[in-house]
Amino acid sequence: MMGNVTLLEFLSMGREVANHRPWPRYQLDSKGWHALAEQMSVSNWEILAEWGEPAEIHVLLRGEDSGAIAVASHPCPDGAFYSLGQFRPSAIRLERAIRDLWGLIPEGLEDQRPWLDHGHWGITHPLGRPRQYDGGRHVYKFLTAEGDGLHQIPVGPVHAGVIEPGHFRFHCQGETVVRLEERLGYVHKGIAGLMSGKPINDAARIAARVSGDATVAYSIAFARAVEAALGLEIPARAHWLRALLAELERVANHLFDIGAICNDAAFAIMLAHMGALREKLLACNARLFGHRLLMDCVIPGGVAINVDESAKAQLLTLVASLRKGFKRGVALYDQTPSLLDRTTGTGIVHSTLAHRFGASGFVGRASSRAVDARKLPGYPPYDDLDFTIPVLADGDVHARVAIRVEEVRSSLNLIEQILARLPDGATSAPLPMRAGEGVALVESFRGEVALWVRLSEAGKVVRAHPHDPSWFQWPLLEAAIEGNIVADFPLCNKSFNCSYSGHDL
Amino acid sequence: MIPPIAKVLARHLIKGPHTAKDNIPASDRALRELAESLGITAQVKLGRSLAIRAIDAGSCNGCELEIHAANHPVYDLERFGIKFVASPRHADVLLVTGPVSWNMAEALRRTVEATPEPRWVVAMGDCAIDGGCFAGSYAVAGGAAAIVPVDMTIPGCPPTPTDILSGLLALLEAVEG
């Protein structure tokens, strides 16, 4: 075993692939990949995403201390690779999905059950070497829990509310949850397959719809990956306008989340209060940018919107009014003991787990993981803006609410800073026709969105892989609910607010 | 000390709800009229309020966000007797969002079957109409009509709360009372 080696030192034993930007990509041979897998059990390198190709496996890594980011690839012509998930549990579901989609078998992984493939597609390995599948739907073996008086509660995929579909299998002892197991993949739409072969602008529309609530973040991630692949510098104003849209999206989602979490603790007035605030923001979005959720406002090469002096004034008025209303809402939350009683100490995620799974966003930050893509690796214009990342150690529902509260405040400040210092100039740059590979890491309201893309010389997307932060948050929900009562599950689930669509892809 | 909840409640008592301001812009007024006539039409045609069951058959969750917005105090569908219910057994209308993913096809079919007649299936959003930008994928069956009979569509990506309201009104007006 090697000593204290940095990520880039380690990877440099592989072959560097040309035209991969902004961070390098290294191809490792079988020996190198094995060594990488073993490093997973001793190093603190984080897996940011893992995906496949018909005969190659890729993993996006960050050397935690140095902040260095790189892609490690391993050609696997015989259709199998040495599993990273056996050493790093965050990769287990990723590798099960890789097996379903590309047909690459993760060797050494204990859990070989399918994940996204439910046996309904009519083919197997749709993105690898597809084969006709005529068998029935898969029978999924849930993990068991045994003991006196244990009973199961199956929930979903169709839930009793306006929620996305997914299946939860509870094993309970009376009211207490002994084990929760999630089964996801119901909204798998084959997004990676759809993006392949599409012109860049068509693929951008799909990227904007990976997860509708994080549409701005996904659009920025796709645009940044494309711009990196093309080696394109976009005008400064475009960067700043993107950040403006991203912060508006963050505020809108956090407001809704805070309201909805309290609503799941039967404190409905908060949902109404936050809903009214959120509606102000969405109406303003529609007025100024033509879309309530800001879909397709960010395009590869820049942005498709602009703000003039009147728009600035309207946004500043909006920020002031949101701040006032939000203060009132937070006071209500902070001083309602019966509500705090529900959120405090409920659904605790221990920081060791948050670190092991590399959870980002409010789930990670509420469990002492101070990670934010806006700071590390950082991207413009955030390096020019003044903001801090809130971190708490409690890891309960209350901490996840408190992180969101801080982030709303910080995002409102960011919007004011952006409006005050918005540089003049063009809002987009034309895309050159060039081949290349690019990767981007962008902070959505939920956490780090990673997006990798390979472009052809004809200006088309050869392959693209969007990765949602929910991949590393869903498994922690299973841990958070353990020992809590069934009635607290909606509360815990909403405090995570993982994306089904972003995860299922 | 006066607890904050008392302040909030007092404020709403004095200033009235978000939905009923006098200085609402014209678009909101039109929306109110729309929602009111929807409520009245439901009463006339169904003899009672309208119960809707939303079902996500593969959406990106954008449509869900707008359904939530329609239930927020600013639009507040429920004051007109239009409410979202938890079970398909209580529903008159199934509001289907998203392209139908093959993994959800069976669940969608069963949900529709679980809804008592008379029932109407509304495909909400561009994806539910024809698969939208997800059409043609190995994992997508197409629009809602590929799996269940659809009575009406509401276009948009996603449709705004106003679009949702006008769509539901158009549906009820078309229903034989």
Residues of B in contact with A275 (CB under 8 A): 68-69, 71-74
Q: Does B21 touch chain A (CB under 8 A)?
A: no
Measured between CA atoms, how close is B29 to chain A, in angstroms? 14
What distance in Å separates the CA atoms of residue A394 and residue A397, rounded to the nearest whole number?
9
Q: Quick one: pLDDT at residue B17?
A: 76
What distance in Å separates the CA atoms of residue A245 and residue A307, rounded to the nearest whole number?
11
pLDDT tens digits along A137-176: 889 999 988 889 999 999 989 988 889 999 999 999 999 9
Q: Does A268 touch chain B (CB under 8 A)?
A: no
Q: Which amino acid is at B23?
A: N
pLDDT tens digits along B115-169: 998 889 999 999 999 999 999 999 999 999 999 999 999 999 999 998 888 888 7
Looking at residues B23-43, what average pLDDT do you find? 65
Q: Does B67 touch chain A (CB under 8 A)?
A: yes
Closest alpha carbon to A449 in A250, A239, A152, A269: A250
Give the pairing of strands A167-173 and A20-21: unpaired
Closest alpha carbon to A59 in A456, A476, A465: A465
Looking at residues A299-307, what average pLDDT do you find? 96
- Examine the pLDDT at A454 and tell me if it is beyond 50: yes
Give the pairing of strands A15-16 and A25-27: antiparallel
Q: Does A335 touch chain B (CB under 8 A)?
A: yes
Going by pLDDT thresholds of 50, 70 and 90, the confidence category of residue B22 is very low
Q: Does A80 touch chain B (CB under 8 A)?
A: no
Q: Does A183 touch chain B (CB under 8 A)?
A: no
Closest alpha carbon to A275 in B28, B31, B165, B69: B69
pLDDT tens digits along B77-94: 877 778 899 999 999 999
Going by pLDDT thresholds of 50, 70 and 90, the confidence category of residue A265 is very high
**Helix (H), strand (E), coil (C) string for A38-89:** HHHHHCCCEEEEEEEECCEEEEEEECCCCCCEEEEEEECCCCEEECCCCCCH
- Whether residues A189 and B101 touch (CB distance < 8 A) is answered with yes
Going by pLDDT thresholds of 50, 70 and 90, the confidence category of residue A444 is very high
Residues of B in contact with A137 (CB under 8 A): 106
Q: Does A210 touch chain B (CB under 8 A)?
A: yes
pLDDT tens digits along A178-225: 999 999 999 999 999 999 999 999 999 999 999 999 999 999 999 999
Residues of A in contact with B59 (CB under 8 A): 164, 187, 212, 501
Q: Quick one: pLDDT at residue A306?
A: 96
Cβ atoms of A304 and A297 within 8 Å: the answer is yes
Cβ atoms of A95 and A50 within 8 Å: the answer is yes
What distance in Å separates the CA atoms of residue A84 and residue A106, rounded to the nearest whole number?
8
Interface probe with B: pick from A116, A131, A138, A162, most Cβ of B within 10 Å: A162
| pLDDT top residue among A456 and B14 | A456
Cβ atoms of B148 and B108 within 8 Å: the answer is yes
Which residue matches tokens 């990488």?
A: A36
Q: Which of B54, B61, B139 sits opposite A188 (nearest CB)?
A: B139
Q: Does B111 touch chain A (CB under 8 A)?
A: yes
Considering the entire predicted model, what is its pTM? 0.95
Q: Does A186 touch chain B (CB under 8 A)?
A: yes
Q: Quick one: pLDDT at residue B168?
A: 81
Give the pairing of strands A20-21 and A436-443: parallel
Residue in B closest to A278 by C-alpha: B69
B window 87-106, beta carbon within 8 A of A = 87-88, 98-99, 101-106
- Whether residues B137 and A193 touch (CB distance < 8 A) is answered with yes
- Say how many C-beta atoms besides its own lie within 10 A of residue A470's C-beta: 28
Which residue matches tokens 């309020």?
A: B49
- Say how many C-beta atoms besides its own lie within 10 A of residue A461's C-beta: 25
Q: What is the DSSP-derived secondary structure letter of residue A387?
A: -
Residue A13 burial (C-beta neighbours within 10 Å; 0-12, 13-18, 19+): middle
- Whether residues A120 and B106 touch (CB distance < 8 A) is answered with yes
pLDDT tens digits along A21-55: 999 999 999 999 999 999 998 888 999 999 999 99
